[in-house]
Amino acid sequence: MQEILQVNYNNSWCYDIIFHNSYEKLGEELEKLSLSNHKVCIVCDSNTNTYLQEVINSTKEHVAFVDSYVFQAGEENKTLDTVKNLYEHLIKAKFDRNDVLIALGGGVVGDLVGYTAATYLRGIRFIQLPTTLLSMVDSSVGGKTGVDFDAYKNMVGAFHQPKCVYMNLSTLISLPKEQFSSGMSEVIKYGYIKDVSFYKWLQDNHDRILNQDYEVLREMVYHSCLYKKEVVERDPLEKGERALLNFGHTLGHAIEKLMSFKLYHGQCVALGMVAAIYMSAKRGMLTWEEVEDSVTLIQSFGLPVGISSIGITEVIAATKNDKKMEAGKIKFILLEKIGSGYIESDVTDEEMAAALEYIMQNN
């Protein structure tokens, strides 16, 4: 397995994804960006703060000045208010167009810092140092950045590619179990939409994954990044195929909003995936045995497959704010079989309601 994956757009190199078990090689990556005359601001949250000093130590000899900024952890802080506070910090610290932001944390830090970098002074460079499983396998790659707006998920954002994604897999040691499970949701997603053999590999390696066997984790993170990289290279701006990465997200995002972010993103995606799997079976594309198998697999990674009570009408109404709406129709991701997702534009409210009833009865 390689230590680096290259992400290319329009057949030319855009950035590298580095897989490592420490921050030892971060300096080498910073050297490639020629930052000796430029400042960096390492932005983290109140938990990923733990890794701040280590990252400062690996950074300071390769840049002109290291600054840092810490905000309160949690999806509820992925807002324009936090972005505004960060803009103020950068203005005070006289960050200019050649200076760089470093996102040290999970998807919340990455999305928010990426969006700040996309908009501050009309765009500056940024680097992703993902520290959650979810951010390693999904959010740090592909350049979707943004924040929530009035609890509407990722309503304000921009496509802005990082200059480097450097993952130190050893940071997963301190990640709470439930957060690890949340990340597994996006991993399982690749099996459903892209590769049945990956789905089977996840079943076969279940125990080693949950025991965080380093070699297995590395293989899993690497392959997840490879799936994501291939999709975003072909369709960086989500004109087509990239929408497949939204498998489980249409209902997932609606549930996330209605639960006021009390459930994690990956947990809501898991519920959304179970609903989409049910809908695919109802249309005759999956067998009921495959539905049962899926529920078992998703649950075995510590993810929810049912929810006690949620307003079906409210969830369906919330899906109408999805960014995948086109001419009043939702682009829903269904499965023609396990390992192959497709975009379906004629999903009805009745189908969604039946799937939501199914996940309520699963609780």
Ligand X SMILES: O=C(O)C(=O)C[C@@H](O)[C@H](O)[C@H](O)COP(=O)(O)O
In this structure, are residues 115 and 157 in contact, taking their beta carbons and an 8 Å threshold?
Answer: yes
Asked if 71 and 110 count as a contact pair (C-beta separation under 8 A), the reply is no
Q: Scan residues 231-290 and list those touching ligand NAD (CB under 6 A).
A: 264-266
Stretch that binds ligand NAD, among 28-36, 102-110, 195-203, 286-294 (CB under 6 A): 102-110
Residue 107 is a binding residue for ligand NAD (CB under 6 A): yes
Least gap, CB of 228 to ligand NAD (angstroms): 8
Print the binding letters for residues 266-305 with ligand X: x by CB under 6 A, - otherwise.
----------------------------------------
Answer yes or no whether residue 194 interacts with ligand X by CB under 6 A: no
Is 148 annotated to bind ligand? no
Binding mask 181-220 for ligand NAD (x = CB under 6 A): -x---x----------------------------------
Q: Is 252 annotated as a binding residue?
A: no
Tell me: is residue 111 an annotated ligand-binding position: yes
Active site residue 246: yes
List 163, 223, 228, 229, catalytic entry? 228
Under the binding rule (CB under 6 A), the answer on residue 105 touching ligand NAD is: yes
Residue 231 near residue 242, CB atoms below 8 Å: yes
Q: How far is the CB of 42 from ligand NAD (least distance, A)?
A: 14
Residue 246 interacts with, from ligand NAD, ligand X, none (CB under 5-8 Å by kind): ligand X
Determine how many CB atoms are found less than 10 A away from the CB of residue 241: 16
Compute the least distance from the CB of residue 289 to ligand X, in Å: 27
Binding status of residue 229 toward ligand X by CB under 6 A: no
236, containing H or E segment: none
What's the chain's length in residues?
A: 363
Residues that contact ligand NAD, how many (by CB under 6 A):
30
Residue whose CB is less far from ligand NAD, 46 or 287: 46
Strands in the chain per DSSP E: 4-9, 12-20, 39-45, 65-71, 100-105, 125-130, 144-149, 152-159, 164-168, 325-326, 329-330, 332-337, 340-344
For the question of residue 20 being annotated catalytic, the response is no
- For residue 238, indicate whether it is catalytic: yes
242 catalytically annotated: yes
Which DSSP letter does residue 147 get? E
How many helices, marked H, and strands, marked E, lie in the chain? Answer: 14, 13
**Which one of the listed residues 75, 238, 344, 351 is annotated catalytic?**
238
The span from the CA of 278 to the CA of 22, in Å, is 41
> What does 249 bind: ligand NAD, ligand X, none (CB cut-off 5 to 8 Å by kind)?
ligand X
Tokens matching residue 162 = 């990082």
State the Cα–Cα distance between residues 335 and 325, nearest whole angstrom: 19
108-127 binders of ligand NAD (CB under 6 A)? 108-109, 111
Per DSSP, helices labelled H in 213-335 are: 214-234, 249-258, 265-282, 288-300, 312-319
132 is in an annotated binding site: yes
Q: Is 260 left (phi over 0), alpha (psi -120 to 50) or beta?
A: left
Tell me which amino acid residue 243 is.
A
| CA distance linking residue 195 with residue 189, whole number of Å | 10
**Least CB distance from residue 239 to ligand NAD, whole Å?**
16
Contact between 123 and 117 (Cβ < 8 Å):
yes
Q: Which residues are annotated as a binding site for Zn(2+)?
A: 186, 249, 265
Residues lying near ligand X in the complex (CB under 6 A) are found at: 138, 142, 144, 153-154, 186, 238, 242, 245-246, 249, 323
Active site residues: 122, 144, 186, 228, 238, 242, 246, 249, 253, 265
